[in-house]
Structure 1
Amino acid sequence: MRAVVTGGAGFIGSNLVDALLEEGHEVVAIDNLSTGRRSNLAGALARGARLVELDICDRQALLEAFEEARPEVVFHLAAQIDVRKSTADPAYDARVNVEGTINVLEAARATGARRVVNSSTGGAIYGEGQILPAPENHPVAPEAPYGQSKFAAEGYCELFRRLHGLSTISLRYGNVYGPRQDPLGEAGVIAIFCGRLVAGERPTVYGDGHQTRDYVYVGDVVEANLLAANCEATGAFNIGTGVETSVLELIKALAPHAHAPFEPEYAPPRLGEVRHIALDSSRAARELGWQARTTLAEGLEKTLSAVKAAA
């Protein structure tokens, strides 16, 4: 199979590139390297993957890259994912997440791709969890422009399916974590906490720490992408564990691994962040044959080992 992975040098994207190569597929990663890292693809490039450095907002350059790659399947992970940045500059967020997705869909259609697997978000689309764990038909009530832009992107995936017959599916992730997530970045509290722990620093908690998320390991998310590529299912699918874990519970789980006191420092809550969310992934189990396999304890250990190795 010939595959294109947009955002392929990023955290999830690079893990997906590795898995595709492992299965013997031909892979082109597309990334503007604004948050992705060439180093994430070092092993993949040595094994024959290609990296094309461009921005998905550059429609012509994207089309030319697709014309050269001629992908059968497109995994669309390139995105603006920072909730705070989306609140500060919603127009930029929409340019990347909506217009960029349209460009990817257009390029996929123009070059004859058979399938587009779109990466979306569970918690940010549903907003505050009214039903927990939240099913796919949960009311859509984003608390930040990021969730709104990702929901709009899903709508365009469905539109291209109806209008052009392009086979699309959107995977709504929980809070993905694991190796290669940037411990110095703005997204990914587990990676940030692991970075603080390794540095002998205390974790910062925004609000009271009782806010909950559904933490899903990157290896399980990669498996969901591979399953989604090889089926005919369409629409939105939750990809999560169904389990709520609070920020303070994360700190408690990591504390035994610390060599210095790992007590939280508190800061004011952040605008646009939901209080409680977890995802009901029973549809993914039924139609994709997917379920989360990695426990939080296992995932934390793998993530912490990776952060230590990179330190």
Structure 2
Amino acid sequence: MLELIKNPGQKIIMVTGGAGYVGSILLRRLLQEGYQVVCVDTLCYGGASLLDIWGNPNFVLEKIDITNQDAVNELFNRYSFHGIVHLAAIVGDPACKIEPELARRTNLEASKYLLESAVHSKVTRFVFASTCSNYGKMKDPDKYVDERTPLAPVSLYAELKVAFEEFILTKIPRDGICPTILRFSTVYGISPRMRFDLTVNEFSKEVALGRELLVFGEQFWRPYCHVSDFSQAILAVLKADAETVAFDVFNVGDTSQNYTKKMLVEEILRQVPEARFSYVHKEDDPRDYRVNFDRIRDTLGFSITRSVPQGIHEILTSIWSGIVKNPQDQSYYNIPLLNTAREVI
């Protein structure tokens, strides 16, 4: 078991879900910024994303499940954390549908216990990875939702995110820890723990493999953000003055990066004119939202570094070049991969 060589001059950050799609990039950014990092992960999707930082003296893996309260207690006994970035979750609507009770235990109950333990241990910062899915469906299709818009979750995944947001904002004393909620856009792009079950990645992958893509509900809006830019936002929060971000909420993304699925197809066609698509029209998807991101830009100076067309190019070339040899491998998916047409959300 590797041990963290503690240095009183370095702040220790816990990253739950650190071996995952978002977390594996964040670990490297935190180490580059001079933090010591404790990755808390069950490695349910493997640990290959940690290989190149495995020997870093400022990094350690604690292979535990956050639903195990005894193991969580031991973490706080062993380390004096400056901050916690809470990414661990049963991620996405399909995965939560498959295991709803596990989703409740992990995404809500374990999250509450983790935060209460952080308060008791006098942790300074707590960053929670929430989602723009919390907005549900726009009431006015010509307007944008923002952080002041009432939340309208329409899936178990979003309901649990909203419930924990409410717990943070209403149940935690305001005289100690500084919690911040980040509502992430729909993510895409290359990561050490790669995923191809995300809209932009999935669409690009299908085209790269020369397949015809079935697009369900081409008219519905979502905001998109590159996975590496999530780390930028998290670091901006960790570095900000506490009074600027305490008990506050920020959408993470860029207003220019709201797309319908049809618009995504059009972006792909600009790069691969011979790509083949078929549309399956839907009227019943309750998730339809365009999001405004001015607040994180104006308050924290956050800006994205990559756009959706750049992300499409990343995925296409990673497959065409052989960097990703078998994008159909189950390791790239959070739910069982079926050999049938399925809807990508």
TM-score (norm 1): 0.88
In the alignment, does 2:55 pair up with 1:46?
yes
Query: What CA distance in whole angstroms lies between the structure 2 residues aligned with 1:200 and 1:72?
Result: 48
Query: What CA distance in whole angstroms lies between the structure 2 residues aligned with 1:222 and 1:109?
Result: 24
Query: What CA distance in whole angstroms lies between the structure 2 residues aligned with 1:62 and 1:20?
Result: 22
- Choose the corresponding residue for 1:99, options 109, 113, 122: 109
In the alignment, does 2:228 pair up with 1:219?
yes
Amino acid at match of 1:296: V
Task: Give 1:26's aligned residue.
Answer: 36
In the alignment, does 2:211 pair up with 1:201?
yes
Task: Give 2:263's aligned residue.
Answer: 249
**Offset at 1:112?**
2.7
C-alpha change, 1:271 and 1:38, in structure 2 (3 Å) is farther
Q: Is the 8 A contact 2:134 2:161 kept in 1?
A: yes
Q: Is the 8 A contact 1:143 1:272 kept in 2?
A: no
Q: Is the 8 A contact 2:13 2:82 kept in 1?
A: yes
Q: Percent identity?
A: 25
Query: What CA distance in whole angstroms lies between the structure 1 residues aligned with 2:53 and 2:268?
Result: 31
SS of corresponding position for 1:292: coil
Q: Is the 8 A contact 2:86 2:129 kept in 1?
A: yes
Q: Is the 8 A contact 1:183 1:195 kept in 2?
A: no
Task: Give 2:324's aligned residue.
Answer: 310
* Number of aligned residues: 304
SS of corresponding position for 1:46: coil
In the alignment, does 2:248 pair up with 1:239?
no
Query: What CA distance in whole angstroms lies between the structure 2 residues aligned with 1:290 and 1:118?
Result: 17
Greater radius of gyration (CA)? 2
C-alpha change, 1:204 and 1:54, in structure 2 (3 Å) is farther
Provide structure 2 residue ranges, at least 5 long, that are not aligned to the other structure.
1-10, 326-345
SS of corresponding position for 2:212: coil
Task: Give 1:141's aligned residue.
Answer: 152
TM-score (norm 2): 0.80
**Offset at 1:19?**
0.6
Query: What CA distance in whole angstroms lies between the structure 2 residues aligned with 1:271 and 1:92?
Result: 27
Query: What CA distance in whole angstroms lies between the structure 2 residues aligned with 1:199 and 1:70?
Result: 48
**Offset at 1:240?**
1.7
| Structure with greater helix percent | 1
Task: Give 2:331's aligned residue.
Answer: none
Query: What CA distance in whole angstroms lies between the structure 2 residues aligned with 1:29 and 1:154?
Result: 23
**Offset at 1:153?**
1.1
Query: What CA distance in whole angstroms lies between the structure 1 residues aligned with 2:138 and 2:305?
Result: 24
Query: What CA distance in whole angstroms lies between the structure 1 residues aligned with 2:129 and 2:154?
Result: 19
**Offset at 1:270?**
10
Q: Deviations over 1:109-147 (max 9, x none)?
A: 23331100110001x111102353211111211111111
C-alpha change, 1:299 and 1:90, in structure 2 (3 Å) is same
Amino acid at match of 1:111: S
In the alignment, does 2:276 pair up with 1:263?
yes
SS of corresponding position for 1:214: strand
SS of corresponding position for 1:197: helix
Query: What CA distance in whole angstroms lies between the structure 2 residues aligned with 1:265 and 1:19?
Result: 39
Query: What CA distance in whole angstroms lies between the structure 2 residues aligned with 1:20 and 1:64?
Result: 23
Q: Is the 8 A contact 1:204 1:267 kept in 2?
A: yes
